[in-house]
Amino acid sequence: MAWPHATNAQQPERTRRIGVLAPLAENDSEGQTRIAALRKGLQDFGWTEGRNIRVEYRSTAGDGDRARAYAAELVALKPDVMVASTENALSALLRETHTVPIVFTQIADPVAGGYVGSLARPGGNVTGFTLYEFAIGAKWLELLKQIAPSITRVAVIFDPEASSADGYLTAIEAGAPSFGVQVFRSAVRNAVDIERAMSEFAAGSNGGLIVQPGSVIAIHRELIVALAARHRLPAVHAYRYFVTIGGLASYGVDNIDLYRQAASYVHRILKGERPSDLPVQAATKFELVINLKTAKALGLDPSISLLARTDEVIE
């Protein structure tokens, strides 16, 4: 006797594909931390790599041509959703598709950049998590003067490919007179530019640095920190991970938290929601970090009041 086939047998769950386009290589320590935060966030929502999702990771290394090539490659894989962690990556993906959902994680001003219609109603296929207002540039300058009061010259190291660079520069330059400093713009596109800009600036006296966020900056962070130490230049950075490798101080968002949050939007999109209906969210978790060992090596003595406000002191 032939047995009837079971009609209610559970069908295997379809593996969903997630594309990630980021500036840092997957074997870079910061890149590993970011992708691990995204994967952990997804796992908390029930998405496990090798079971019901597959993550395709590509690194742009801060190179526009590479970003465009990998964007095309990722879109050709027909992912269910993609994650872009810089403007360079987001722009490259949008050249390839206006239908595949994209969640971004580190965009300063997505409205001015033309990536979304508004924060509340993004429209299109893009949404995500934005960083902070450009006014934080003045906060970086204030922190630099608090920790190194004698400086009178400030070089702002920035990636000219980042459309947010001008916004930060405007805020820093607007605040410069009240702090009695002269600001010098230093656009850098590679390691050679960085070494030349910092060496030339260090030839003067009473100098300090503000290091803006950007793909080129992140990729060459160890070089920047090493040159700042060699030339005895106090430097303020946008992210904690510069300070953990010897940078003097940082003030900015907890960028790893943005990747954990991005997982929630990836989850909602995989469950059927549209990015156009998911409002862009602003980062809310900020942190001030000071490397006391670096401060002492530079002959600086941060005030008790400043250290009291610091979220983390690295010794």
| SS3 assignment, position 197 | helix
Is it the case that residue 26 has pLDDT exceeding 80?
Answer: no
- Residue 83 and residue 18: Cα distance in Å, rounded? 8
Of 21, 39, 55, 37, which is closest to residue 215 (Cα–Cα)?
21
158/152 Cα distance (integer angstroms): 19
Contact (Cβ atoms closer than 8 angstroms) between residue 155 and residue 197 = yes
pLDDT at 1 over 80: no
Confidence of residue 12 (pLDDT cuts 50, 70, 90): low
Rounded to an integer, the average pLDDT of 55-82 is 93
Q: Which domains does the chain have, with CATH numbers?
A: 16-132+254-285 (3.40.50.2300), 136-253+287-314 (3.40.50.2300)
Instruction: For tokens 């032939």, name the residue.
Output: 2
CA distances from 62 to 27, 233, 264 (A): 15, 25, 26
Reading the block at residue 224, the tokens are 């920047």
| Residues 257-298 pLDDT 10s | 999 999 999 999 999 999 999 999 988 889 999 999 999 999
Residue 37, classified by CB atoms within 10 Å of its CB into exposed (0-12), middle (13-18) or buried (19+), is buried
> What is the mean pLDDT of the segment spanning 232-239?
97
Contact 222/245 with Cβ under 8 angstroms? yes
Q: Amino acid letter at 291?
A: N
Q: Which neighbouring-strand residues pair with 49?
A: 53
| Percent of the chain whose predicted confidence (pLDDT) is above 70 | 96
Among the residue ranges 54-63, 122-131, 171-180, 228-237, the one predicted with the least confidence is 54-63
pLDDT value, residue 3 = 43
Q: Look at residues 300, 94, 75, 86 and name the one whose alpha carbon lies nearest to residue 212.
A: 86
Against a cut of 0.85, is the pTM above it? yes
pLDDT at 163 over 80: no
